[in-house]
Amino acid sequence: MIIRKAEIECVAALKSQYPTTGYPEVAFAGRSNVGKSSLINTLVNRKSLARTSSKPGKTRTINFYNINDNLYLVDLPGYGYAKVSKEEKKKWGSMIEGYLNSRDELKLVILLVDIRHEPTQDDKLMLEWMRQTGKKVVVVATKSDKLSNNQIAKQVPVIKKALKLTQDETFILFSSETRRGKEELWEVIKSTCGI
Ligand code: GDP
């Protein structure tokens, strides 16, 4: 994928702030620290387009990155902070669900999980929300450089089983360090978004 343009175009807290161009959208979600910013930066060959997720207590937003004026990579707020109040969790939930359920432009939803860990209850809930959209779902296992091939071979079925991955759902091994999985992910994005 040749990246001519990669810019943050929109930081939205409200639906009324989402972009109106109609470009197809690919949304990324995952626990905080899973490597979401690194993955987005790796995809678009930039060092710091996406920033590490904000700290608990700060307002979370949905960030839209304009890629080549024909696609948005959509960065959903990270989850899984231990110290987040119930009220904040609720706000976060309605923001993400609101986006996922109402967005025609959304073509592909991507759940990031750390290859080293079993998916959490939050990951499973997120995946359920993603499935309910009826859009194509991809699960990306991040930080694959941190495990040996043997360890990866053991961990992949554990993750797939915990998430009850189906035939229609694509699973990709990824590393921002080695760029493993980058082209594979772009192929899925391009074919799903028709770009
Ligand atoms: P985010 O909170 O999900 O946006 O996570 P970040 O992208 O900020 O990454 C969290 C931490 O994991 C940082 O210290 C990154 O350098 C590290 N990290 C992210 N991706 C990888 C990866 O593929 N391999 C390795 N070894 N470290 C990674």
Q: List the domains of the chain with CATH numbers.
A: 6-193 (3.40.50.300)
Predicted pLDDT at 57 = 47
Predicted pLDDT at 87 = 86
DSSP label at residue 143? -
Q: Rounded CA gap, 168 and 137, in Å?
A: 8
- Residues 34-50 have pLDDT tens digits of 999 999 999 999 988 99
The answer to whether residues 92 and 79 touch, using CB atoms and an 8 Å cutoff, is: yes
State how far Cα 99 lies from the chain centre.
13
Backbone angles phi, psi at 88, to 5 degrees: -70, -40
Q: Is the CB of 32 under 6 A from ligand 1?
A: yes
Predicted pLDDT at 137 = 98
Q: For residue 28, give the nearest of 87, 99, 109 by alpha carbon.
A: 109
H or E element, residue 26 = strand 25-30
Predicted pLDDT at 141 = 98
- Residues 136-194 have pLDDT tens digits of 999 999 999 999 999 999 999 999 999 999 999 999 999 999 999 999 999 999 999 99
Residue 62 has pLDDT above 70, yes or no: yes
H or E element, residue 67 = strand 62-67
User: Residue 41 CA: which ligand 1 atom is closest?
Assistant: 7
Name the pTM for this structure. Answer: 0.96
Confidence of residue 83 (pLDDT cuts 50, 70, 90): confident
Predicted pLDDT at 58 = 56
Angstrom CA distances, 158 to 65, 119, 165, stand at: 32, 9, 11
Predicted pLDDT at 55 = 53
Residue 56 has pLDDT above 70, yes or no: no
Give start and end residues of each alpha helix (H) in the chain. Answer: 36-43, 86-102, 121-132, 149-163, 182-193
Q: Is the CB of 36 under 6 A from ligand 1?
A: yes
Share the mean pLDDT of the chain.
93
Q: Tell me which of 52 and 185 has the higher pLDDT.
A: 185
Q: How far is the CA of 20 from the centre of ligand 1 (A)?
A: 31
Q: Is the CB of 52 under 6 A from ligand 1?
A: yes
Q: How far is the CA of 178 from the centre of ligand 1 (A)?
A: 12
The answer to whether residues 105 and 192 touch, using CB atoms and an 8 Å cutoff, is: no
Give the number of other Cβ atoms within 10 Å of residue 68's Cβ.
14
ipTM over 0.90 threshold: yes
Predicted pLDDT at 187 = 98
- According to DSSP, the residues that pair with 112 across neighbouring strands are 30, 140
Q: Is the CB of 42 under 6 A from ligand 1?
A: no
- Please tell me whether residue 142 adopts helix, strand or coil conformation: strand
Q: For residue 125, give the nearest of 144, 102, 97 by alpha carbon.
A: 97
Pocket test for ligand 1, best of 65, 76, 176, 177 (most atoms within 8 A of CB): 176
